[in-house]
């Protein structure tokens, strides 16, 4: 148990086919957790689940488009059917499109807000009742330092992440009385293919495993307390 402190626990991780989400799913599996993985790319997602099963835990892949409310409902239902009700929900799926606000279309705005914010609300709402019945659970939202700092071209992305931090803090207050801990991780730029890095040195950037480590810290915290928010920055500026 000391080596696999999450043995017997079940997690649901979104955006789990690559990058930060995959690193988080792998870390939770290494801690003994069974994992439901979700993302849009079914082939890549199943390959990720197969890799995780080699760690000796159960893992399933559930393709879903989190801009579709029906997909979110089916994701929550299938995750519970296949592995059981999640003890840990990691809302990691995210989308970024960057341009001046006057060039944004309403469609682009809606896709970003639906993916980064509305989907978190709907999945939290879907898993909360079973967590409340069990009087335990972790919900970890992967936010961003962009939820605290404005930058040119980031209107929709920043709005979604500022909103996500507000949602996280309010959900924490609503659910802590039921033994459920809701936390946010706010990384700076991570070396993934999420956004172009230009001429920056990716070796100096945060790595997906750094975010996974922060999630590990949160979900292994002693039961009498919880870590409400972690901000992550690289040691050196890339």
pLDDT category of residue 193 using cuts at 50, 70 and 90 = confident
pLDDT tens for 82-125 read: 999 999 999 999 999 999 999 999 999 999 999 999 999 999 99
Task: Tell me the three state secondary structure of residue 33.
Answer: coil
Exposed/middle/buried for residue 107 (C-beta within 10 Å: 0-12, 13-18, 19+): exposed
pLDDT category of residue 201 using cuts at 50, 70 and 90 = confident
Query: What is the set of active-site residues?
Result: 157
d(CA 130, CA 201): 44
Is pLDDT at 14 greater than 70 in this prediction? yes
pLDDT tens for 138-160 read: 999 999 999 999 999 999 999 99
Q: What angle do CA 121, 125, 128 make, to 5 degrees?
A: 130
> What domains sit in the chain, N to C, each tagged with a CATH number?
10-232 (3.40.50.720)
Task: Tell me the three state secondary structure of residue 100.
Answer: coil
Cα of first residue to Cα of last residue in the chain, in angstroms, is: 38
Report the pLDDT value the prediction gives residue 199, as an integer from 0 to 100: 72
Q: What angle do CA 86, 171, 192 make, to 5 degrees?
A: 65
């Amino acid at each position: 148990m000391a080596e696999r402190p999450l043995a017997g626990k079940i997690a649901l991780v979104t955006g789990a086919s690559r990058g930060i989400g995959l690193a988080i799913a792998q870390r939770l599996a290494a801690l003994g957790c069974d994992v439901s993985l979700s993302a849009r790319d079914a082939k890549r997602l199943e390959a990720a689940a197969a890799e995780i099963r080699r760690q000796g835990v159960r893992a399933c892949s559930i393709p879903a488009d989190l801009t579709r409310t029906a997909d979110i409902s089916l994701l929550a239902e299938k995750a519970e059917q296949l592995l059981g009700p999640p003890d840990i929900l990691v809302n990691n799926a995210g989308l970024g499109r960057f341009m001046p606000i006057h060039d944004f279309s309403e469609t682009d705005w809606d896709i970003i807000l639906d993916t980064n914010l509305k989907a978190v609300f709907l999945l939290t709402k879907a898993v909360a009742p079973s967590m409340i019945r069990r009087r335990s659970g972790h919900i970890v939202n992967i936010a961003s330092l962009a939820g605290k700092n404005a930058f040119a071209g980031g209107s929709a992305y920043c709005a979604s992440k500022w909103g996500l931090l507000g949602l996280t803090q309010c959900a924490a207050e609503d659910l802590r009385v039921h033994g459920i801990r809701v936390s946010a991780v706010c990384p700076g730029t991570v070396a993934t293919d999420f956004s172009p890095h230009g001429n920056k040195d990716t070796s100096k950037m945060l790595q997906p495993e750094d975010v996974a480590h922060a999630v590990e810290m949160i979900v292994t915290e002693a039961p009498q307390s919880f870590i409400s928010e972690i901000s992550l920055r690289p040691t050196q500026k890339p």
